[in-house]
Homo-oligomer: A and B are copies of this chain.
Amino acid sequence: MKNDDHPLAKATQSHSAEASEKRESKSLLDRRTFLATGSSVLGIAAVHAFFPSATVAASSSPKDPTRTPGSLASSYGTRSVFEQAQRLTSSTRSLTPLQQLSGIITPSALHFERHHNGVPLIAPQRHRLLVHGLVHQPMMFTVEELKRFPAQSRLAFIECSGNSGKEWNGPKGSTVQETHGLTSTSEWTGVALSTVLQEAGIQPEASWVLAEGSDAAALTRSIPLAMVPKDTLLCYAQNGEPLRPEQGYPLRLLIPGWEGNACVKWLRRLKLMANPAMTREETSKYTDLMPDGTARQFTFEMDAKSVITSPSGGQQLEQPGFIEVRGLAWTGRGRITHVDVSTDGGTSWQAAELQQPVLPMCHTRFRLAWHWSGQEAILQSRCEDETGYVQPTLTDLIAVRGFNSYYHNNAIQSWKVNKEGQVHNVQI
């Protein structure tokens, strides 16, 4: 079939006669043209900024791609030149732009980063894992040796316990990336921690294992053997390929459901101990100062949490009508079983639909069709996990934990839509 003959060419020509150039730069006009044909897309209002504008001018692409031979196959693919991640980065962290993602997998290149003294450059041939302390036989492993053990994979989220920490005392982040961007989901592959510990042989008095990274901060955490999940892995791969450097290449711990800093990256040492080592990262950091002056310590499991990713802070509803409210929920205790959404600040709730796949220890997508009337609205989501735990309000959280906390904030997030359709971070 010749291109000239086929109906798309004709349809495009008939439209193009009046508005060709304008259509490319003004999507609203295009939408009106489209609506004028008598059809509708569920009556959904256009939402600016849900998807980023192109970073390369459309005019640099062929008007008719069928008339231009395309580019050749590549050895390692890259994004379209028309897409750019709206990713926030400082020296020691990069956030995951949750408002731009689809599905539950986070691309490895956009997995959040958090490190205390930079990403070390580690040649895998030089890397060693030492297993020592209260063991029958101290051992040292190369990465190649660890890869020969039986392999295991699992999909799991990792969340920094500092995620949403700045939201504890009033709304701070202007986008969902800023409020919730320290969580990501990947498929992780490695050898079971239990397999490696079995090789060395654990002495009866060993109750804790110290995990140490080989970054310049030598990040070190004590992990209670009685609590550590049996599917804890020493990982060398993420989303099919070797770990990314910022995710601990060539070796990291993955403790499914536990706070990110316990999943020690660039792992070089496991020391079996009778008691916790009380390192900096489990005393002055990553503990929660309670109202009575004591500290919650070794609170590894991440509580159930959810957030609406669209509409979310910084976005703009164009006009009243139907919108699909979309978001993510996750829990360190297994599977998400239920998500409710409120559009009136928590007065009334509606059950959202959970989008497949719903997997344990993974981000889970939810969605709800909502008709925006054009009036002010407060959007919230509240999730429940398979243990029956229900995500709390910030008020409930503060009633127990007071105002000195920073880590482990899993409170319900509120987004306010004003009459102009602008969306802002608020606390009610």
Contact = CB atoms under 8 A, between A and B. Distances in A.
A94 B73 contact: yes
Contact of A66 (B15, B77, B214, B271): B214
Contacts of A293: none
Nearest to A242: B83
Nearest to A195: B42
A87 to B, nearest CB: 5
Contacts of A27: 125, 142, 144
Interface stretch (A109-117, A221-229, A378-386, A419-427): A109-117
Given A148-B41, A153-B355, A355-B152, A85 B76 contact: yes
Interface string A111-142: 10101011111111110101010000111111
Contact of A120 (B40, B62, B153): B62
Contacts of A144: 27, 46, 51
Given A69-B118, A103-B153, A103-B187, A37 B214 contact: no
B324 A151 contact: yes
A241 B100 contact: yes
A178 to B, nearest CB: 15
Interface residues of A, number: 143
A140 B56 CA distance: 24
Given A80-B249, A93-B73, A149 B105 contact: no
Interface in A54-79: 54, 56-63, 65-79
When all copies of this chain in the complex are counted, the total is 2
Among the interface residues A83, A103, A141, which one has the most CB atoms of the partner chain B within 10 A? A103
Interface in A7-27: 7-8, 11-12, 15, 24-25, 27
A102 B236 contact: yes
A65 B153 contact: no
A209 B36 CA distance: 25
A367 B151 contact: yes
